[in-house]
Structure formats: C-alpha cells, structure tokens
C-alpha cells in the first residue's frame, strides 16, 4: 500500500481551505529540506539547498487543492444549499456522500428515488442549484450549530489499490504532491530547489502566481494529474492520454505553450532511460505552468502529469507504474538540468 498516496488523497483541501493538506505535507517534508515557509495565500514553499555545482534557481510546483463544494445557505428544513469550488459536471454529484466543514460532518447530496420520478424528470439533468446536502439535521437551527455558510464540503473516498491501479479522490493533484515529496526526500540536486505546494489552482491557477513571484525561478517543473480519457469515444479528439502508458508531457493547453527546450529535455531523458511517456494531445485544460511562465520577466516552465481517469468526480483511478515513472522521470530531468540551460 502506498501510504503517501493514501494519506494525501484522504486528507481534505478544497480550494482556499488547504490547511489540513498543508500541515500534512509540512510534516512529510520537514526533515528533508533546509527551510520552509507558508506565504500569505497559504502556499507551502520549501527550500532544499543544492550540492553547489550550479546556481540555477529551480521551482517544482504541485497544487494542493482539490475541487469541492461550498455551503451557500441553510434551508429551514435543515438541508444545505451549495455551489461548486472548481469545475463540476452536475451529473457526478447526486447521491454522493460528502464531509462538511472543519468538523467533517457526514452528509449526502440527496436524490429523489428513481421510482418517484415522473417520466419528464427522468429526462432532465438536475442542476447543482436544485440539489441539497442532507446532514440529517431536523431544521435550520440544528444544522446552523453544525455547519456555517462558507464551509467547504469534500467527497468521502477511501484509498484502495486494485492491482496496478489505485482508486481514490483528489489524485488531481495529491498524486503530484506525493511525487514532489519523493523528490524532496532524494539526495540534494546540483542547484537550489524550491518546492511549492500551491493553493487555489482549481479556481484559476492563483496560488502559483504569487509563489512564482516570490521564488523568482529560472526554470519550473509543474507536477500534475491530467485526465486520461481512454474510453470509447467515437473519434472525439479531446486531450487524451491512456492509463498505464507512462507520464504525460504537455506541449500546449488553453493556458500555456510549454517551453520547447524543457519538453525536448523531458522526452530525451525519458528515452535515454527507457521510461515510457505520452505526449498529451494539445487542447483544453490548463495547469500552473500558465501562471508561472508569465510571472515577472518570464520563466521556462513545463508540465509533467500522471494520467488519471474521472478527474473532478468522487473517485479517480491512476496507474501506480505511471506514478513511479513520473517520479523517476522528474528526478532524472532535474539532475540533468544544468546541461540544458548552459546551451
Ligand atoms: Zn490539477
């Protein structure tokens, strides 16, 4: 059992409320870095001093936040109205168990039983604003003692390993966070490494923007989880990678064109060491590369991602070999980085 992935995916950190994940990460890395700090937005920034061979400033980013829900109102019957924090398909929500607020009250996103639905209701998608979270409170007073407007709600999913596949919530992006923890636990790099576990990626790449400004790196590597979409799709050309065929390297998405020298360096290192990899089909989506690349006077940046099925739903699947290959490729990429910048 990968305890790092289990701990990190079962922790709760909906965008803007990442404290539980931040404290967990701080404890996981504290003995392996020279110093760490938390900036005003809540990014956890750690500095691992280099072995002295290079004075390059390198940032490795992994966002800590996950998509979730925020309570917007408490109804007289004690049920909770909510909105999304990050992107959702409303159809993925009905009937799901959630944990609400800092005390993690269990609730369910209530659904009308199918045998009570009229035929027209069966045809319609229920929208999020018509859904309620039911925490079993009998009225508004009772619910108001347990939950506050503004509290987050997150899915409840236990981490499990199914052969080479792992199931859990929030692999986007706790898989990236776990990979970054492993990079920090390795021997010092030739240069100073700044690890940024960033906040609020899911609401617009916000934490990475200030983290990059503060670190002022020359090169940045963004560790992510990217949607695997290896399902029957009738010639749909959506960005598509496959579970189990290796780390995914970005070239272009809606927010950034990746630095071509770093893309070439990643593919070259992977080929040299016989690490499988996939070029993510260029297209939609966006990662923290989008905000890091344009910080200050610009940063060379690239995204390396672990493919994950069913992102932004209560349960995702990743392949553990893809995860291990991502950690290995990221480490080898970093250790050989001095060559590329001296070109
Ligand atoms: Zn992500």
Ligand 1 centroid to residue 16 C-alpha, Å: 14
Residue 321: band (very low, low, confident or very high) from pLDDT cuts 50, 70, 90: very high
Helix (H) or strand (E) holding 180: helix 171-185
Query: pLDDT tens across 122-148, in order?
Result: 778 888 888 999 999 999 999 999 999
Let me know whether 302 and 176 are in one domain: yes
pLDDT of residue 235: 66
Let me know whether 32 and 108 are in one domain: no
Let me know whether 91 and 50 are in one domain: no
Let me know whether 209 and 255 are in one domain: yes
Structural domain contains residue 226: yes
Ligand 1 centroid to residue 340 C-alpha, Å: 27
Ligand 1 centroid to residue 171 C-alpha, Å: 8
Range of the structural domain that residue 285 is part of: 3-66+169-341
Ligand 1 centroid to residue 63 C-alpha, Å: 7
Ligand 1 centroid to residue 64 C-alpha, Å: 9
pLDDT of residue 217: 96
Query: pLDDT tens across 6-40, in order?
Result: 999 999 999 999 999 999 999 999 999 999 999 99
Residue 232: band (very low, low, confident or very high) from pLDDT cuts 50, 70, 90: low
Let me know whether 117 and 205 are in one domain: no
Asked if 259 contacts 293 with a C-beta cutoff of 8 angstroms, the reply is yes
Lowest mean pLDDT among 92-96, 213-217, 233-237: 233-237
pLDDT of residue 113: 67
- CATH number of the domain within which 57 lies: 3.40.630.10
Let me know whether 250 and 309 are in one domain: yes
Rg (CA), the chain: 21
Ligand 1 centroid to residue 224 C-alpha, Å: 5
205: tokens are 């790449």
- Predicted TM-score (pTM) above 0.85: yes
The pocket of ion ligand 1, defined by CB under 5 A, consists of 172-173
Query: pLDDT tens across 296-319, in order?
Result: 999 999 999 999 999 889 999 999
**Taking 70 as the threshold, does the pLDDT of residue 290 lie above it?**
yes
Residue 227: band (very low, low, confident or very high) from pLDDT cuts 50, 70, 90: confident
Mean pLDDT of 32-61: 95
Q: What percent of the chain has pLDDT over 90?
A: 82
Mean pLDDT of 70-97: 93
pLDDT of residue 33: 98
Residue 343's CB is within 10 A of a number of other CB atoms, namely 6
Mean pLDDT of 154-176: 97
Let me know whether 62 and 72 are in one domain: no
- Residue where one domain finishes, among candidates 122, 155, 188: 155
Question: Bigger pLDDT: 340 or 38?
Answer: 38
Q: Which of these is catalytic: 182, 201, 209, 224?
A: 201
Helix or strand or coil: residue 189?
A: coil
**Taking 80 as the threshold, does the pLDDT of residue 236 lie above it?**
no
Ligand 1 centroid to residue 83 C-alpha, Å: 19
**Taking 80 as the threshold, does the pLDDT of residue 59 lie above it?**
yes
- State the total domains in the chain: 2
Let me know whether 228 and 125 are in one domain: no
Helix (H) or strand (E) holding 211: helix 206-215
Residue 76: band (very low, low, confident or very high) from pLDDT cuts 50, 70, 90: very high
pLDDT of residue 77: 94
201 part of the active site: yes
Let me know whether 281 and 180 are in one domain: yes
- CATH number of the domain within which 124 lies: 2.40.30.40
Mean pLDDT of 217-233: 87
Let me know whether 193 and 321 are in one domain: yes
Ligand 1 centroid to residue 124 C-alpha, Å: 30
- Residue where one domain finishes, among candidates 92, 126, 155: 155
pLDDT of residue 74: 96
Structural domain contains residue 26: yes
**Taking 70 as the threshold, does the pLDDT of residue 118 lie above it?**
yes
Average pLDDT, the chain: 93
4 vs 25: CA distance, rounded Å: 10
* Strands 248-249 vs 278-279: parallel, antiparallel or unpaired: parallel
Let me know whether 88 and 218 are in one domain: no
Ligand 1 centroid to residue 52 C-alpha, Å: 32
């Amino acid at each position: 059992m990968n305890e790092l992935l289990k701990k990190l995916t079962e922790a709760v950190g909906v965008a803007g409320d990442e404290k539980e994940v931040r404290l967990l990460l701080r404890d996981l890395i504290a003995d392996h870095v020279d110093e760490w700090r938390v900036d005003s937005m809540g990014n956890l920034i750690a500095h691992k001093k280099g072995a002295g061979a290079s004075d390059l400033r390198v940032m490795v980013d992994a966002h800590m936040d996950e998509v979730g829900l925020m309570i917007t109102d408490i109804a007289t019957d004690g049920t909770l109205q909510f909105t999304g924090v990050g992107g959702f398909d409303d159809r993925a929500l009905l009937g799901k168990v959630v944990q609400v607020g800092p005390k993690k009250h269990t609730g369910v996103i209530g659904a009308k039983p199918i045998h009570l639905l009229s035929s027209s209701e069966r045809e319609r998608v229920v929208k999020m604003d018509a859904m309620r979270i039911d925490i079993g409170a009998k009225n508004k007073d009772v619910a108001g003692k347990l939950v506050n407007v503004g509290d987050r709600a997150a899915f409840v999913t236990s981490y499990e390993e199914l052969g080479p596949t792992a199931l859990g919530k929030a692999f986007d992006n706790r898989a990236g966070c776990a990979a970054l923890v492993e990079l920090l636990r390795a021997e010092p790099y030739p240069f100073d490494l700044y690890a940024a576990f960033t906040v609020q990626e899911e609401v617009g790449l916000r934490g990475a923007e200030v983290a990059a400004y503060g670190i002022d790196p020359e090169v940045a590597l963004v560790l992510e989880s990217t949607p695997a979409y290896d399902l029957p799709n009738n010639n749909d050309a959506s960005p598509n990678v496959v579970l189990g065929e290796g780390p995914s390297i970005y070239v272009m998405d809606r927010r950034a064109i990746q630095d071509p020298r770093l893309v070439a360096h990643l593919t070259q290192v992977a080929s040299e060491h016989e690490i499988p990899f996939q070029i993510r089909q260029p297209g939609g989506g966006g990662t923290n590369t989008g905000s890091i690349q344009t910080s200050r006077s610009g940063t060379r940046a690239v995204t390396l991602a672990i493919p994950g099925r069913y992102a932004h739903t209560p349960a995702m699947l990743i392949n553990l070999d893809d995860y291990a290959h991502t950690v290995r490729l990221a480490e080898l990429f970093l250790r050989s980085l001095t060559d590329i910048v001296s070109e």
